[in-house]
Amino acid sequence: MALLSDQDHQVLSERFAETLEKDVMVKLFTQSQARSLLILPGQDQHSQSQSNEFMKVTQELLEELTSISPKLTLQVYDVFSDGADEAKRLQIEQLPAIILGDDAEGRVRFYGAPVGNEFPTILTDIEALSKSAPMLTEEVAKVAIERIDEQVHLRVFVTPT
């Protein structure tokens, strides 16, 4: 059963037609279903199966989401097989990891399943990367560009409600 309904598809298709300008690359780092069957020593079965659910749901959701617009491309990396090198290069800290944007290191990273309240978050992330102009007010953007002259790393923690 699809995660996004036909109506969701329609709404998102119209929304993306308005909001997307540049192409956006979406890289998902996950583990294969076969690997998910293993219960690792020291890891309790409940959190393992919950984690597997997150992986599965995340992949399915991103497959459906990226199929809605030709400007979105999904690449799935299995970190325990052929995706291992890329995961190491990008220093993936946990799974599932969604890397958005084409820069060498990936501009925006989303760790965890982008479901519930966080679904709109990832939509906005994708749209923000797709636009040419910043989403800030002009004045704030101007000051930020002038005054912030070094790399800044931001972590934003959200807890599911």
Partner 1 sequence: MAQAFQVSGVPKTVINDRAEFVGAVPDEIFVNAILQALGKEEVDWAGEDVDGVDDEDRPTSVA
The minimum distance between CB 112 and partner 1, in angstroms, equals 10
Instruction: Name the token pair of 37.
Output: 């069957």
Using the minimum distance from each CB to partner 1, give the nearer residue, 75 or 121. Answer: 121
Token pair of 117, please?
Answer: 């309240």
Smallest distance, Å, CB 113 to partner 1? 14
- Nearby residues of 152 by Cβ (< 8 Å), 6 or more positions away: none
**Amino acid (one-letter) located at 79:** V
**24: Cβ–Cβ under 8 A, 6 or more apart, which residues?**
71, 72, 73, 100, 101, 102, 126, 129, 130
Query: Looking only at Cα atoms, what is the longest distance across the chain?
Result: 54
Give whichever of 72 and 87 is closer to partner 1, judged by the CB atom.
Answer: 87
CB-nearer residue toward partner 1: 70 or 120:
120
Provide the binding-site residues for partner 1, judged by CB under 8 A: 93-94, 111, 136-137, 139-140, 142-144, 147-148, 150, 152-159
> CA dihedral in degrees (144, 147, 153, 154; nearest 10)?
-40
For residue 65 the two structure tokens come to 């989401």
Task: Closer to partner 1 by CB, 37 or 140: give it.
Answer: 140
Closest contact distance (angstroms) between CB of 155 and partner 1 is: 4
Residues in the chain: 161
The nearer residue to partner 1, 46 or 147, going by C-beta atoms, is: 147
